[in-house]
Structure 1
Amino acid sequence: MTSDTPAPGSSRPGGRTARNTAAVLQATLDELGEHGHHTLTVERVAARSGVHKATVYRRWGGVDGLLAAALEWSAARPWEPERTGSLYGDLLALTEAVARGFTDAPEKDLSTASIAAALDSPTVARALRVFMADRHERAAVVVTEAVGRGEIPADTDSLEVVRAAVAPIYYRLLVSREPVAPTDLRRAARTAAEAAAQGLLAAQDSSG
């Protein structure tokens, strides 16, 4: 873990401790999604979770610690990319999932608020990097499988293919604030898949 906050569950506590941890971190995510990070307080989280604020302060230190721990906790939740049988189809499904996560999904406000919080806090930013790295690693399995099918070269950098597919979507959603149309999703997926097939996203030799 990279945050300065002890990772929730790192000692695998059971019983009441585990329940309190889950309640506090879920309450943190709920408050963040509903009200944004600027109004998030330990008192709000304590009231929502039913855990005394002194306990919350003692374990997580404050809002930054809560946010970082909640992001790290949520990274452990089950998630796998959709499989379609082709790299283009898999990357299209991935871009669609990213777009839904910020526009249609129940957690859309949480997604945006998490990034906003990371811009304000180095502690939260480190935790968000851990979360995103985990998601990219999980998504990269579709690239590895495409190598196995012979669709793309064996030396393809699977993480770079994932980044190439989702980066234009994040740019539209979070930087230019443009609408994301189905054609945008298809273009991003097609561009990444074709670049991989042409060997343009090969792993780089860092030794030199």
Structure 2
Amino acid sequence: MSEILDSRKTIPISKEFFCDGHYYVLTSESLGGSGLSPEGVSDTLGRADEPEIEGLLRQGVCIPLFFDGDCALDSSTVFVLGNLTAQEEHDWIARLSWKLNIPCGKFVILCGGGDPEEFAHAISGTPPKEHYEIFQVIDVPPDEYLVEIYAYLPSMTVQVSLEEYDEHWNLKENKALEEWYQSNRPGHADVGYIIRLVPLETDPPFPKLVSDIGWCGEFEFRSN
């Protein structure tokens, strides 16, 4: 545990990674050591069966993520193994946390998750297809991890929160709040999300699942 906490490693998401959709899955090549098949996990996620998805989450098999638009994590996401810097800790605006069991030492981010063949390929140990990089594998020390997804000002999560409708249902931006963020939690233009992994000590509160989808997508916005 001290090895990863005492050091810090950052890995940007691959420049070739592309997700033309609202869905991502964080998992491991061993599916948390669960013995489940990628086809079975993919089928559960694709059916949006909330009780079964909750079971996958509680086992640390995967964290299925849903966003309000396409390509939310593409190109502006950094993976951090270890502690955030003081500036990163200061600037984050919203956070989603849960756990992953990674006994194989292979952390995986996958676009989609509902296609069994793509899911199986992502955890197979073979590289992505050329010009179709929908997953990325990152080496981590085998362990059970706390996984925290931090959203910063440029992120889709925060930008969507700044949009509101007037009484005539015309979309407008919350300029006052955006200006406050710019002054107090500006973040960095090239970082929308940080996905941080540290060895798990205690389970975080169970994440709220998106209604009718059963995936994680309800970020908690900080209060100060």
TM-score under structure 2 length normalisation: 0.27
- Larger C-alpha radius of gyration, 1 or 2? 1
TM-score under structure 1 length normalisation: 0.28
Task: Select the structure that is richer in strand.
Answer: 2
Task: Select the structure that is richer in helix.
Answer: 1
